[in-house]
Structure formats: C-alpha cells, structure tokens
Amino acid sequence: MCIKDGGWSTWGSWESCSVTCGVCQKLRSRACTNPSPSVYGNACAGNTEAFALCINRPCE
C-alpha cells in the first residue's frame, strides 16, 4: 500500500458580488483532490475557502 498525501486543486473562480452598492464578501473555493489523500495520508493544510471584499459604489 502506498501512502499518498493530499494536494490542493486550483482555486475556483470568484463568485460575483451579491449587492450592487455598499460592501459585501465574495468567495472562491478549492478541494483537497489533487490528489485525494490515501487512507493513511495527510489531508491538505490550509483553507478550502477564500474571501474578499467587494467595495461597490455607495448606496443612495
């Protein structure tokens, strides 16, 4: 049996911002599937999601 640690997939695209004015968050994600860890392998270290602020025009 070969022990294989997990590796991250590439980041997905950023979601679009949910509001047209003001501030909100957008999200992107990745998975520990490149490769997936084997039974005794280590899972990927780090976050599966990343957040960023959307700063849009001021709301009137």
The tens digit of pLDDT for each residue in 1-36 reads 789 999 999 999 999 888 888 888 999 999 999 999
DSSP codes, the chain: -------PPPP-PPPPPS-SSSEEEEEEE--S-TTPP-TTSPPPPS-SEEEEEEE-SPP-
| pLDDT band of 56, cuts 50, 70, 90 | confident
The reported pLDDT for the residue numbered 59 is: 83
For 1-60, which CATH superfamily applies?
Thrombospondin type-1 (TSP1) repeat (2.20.100.10)
The reported pLDDT for the residue numbered 23 is: 87
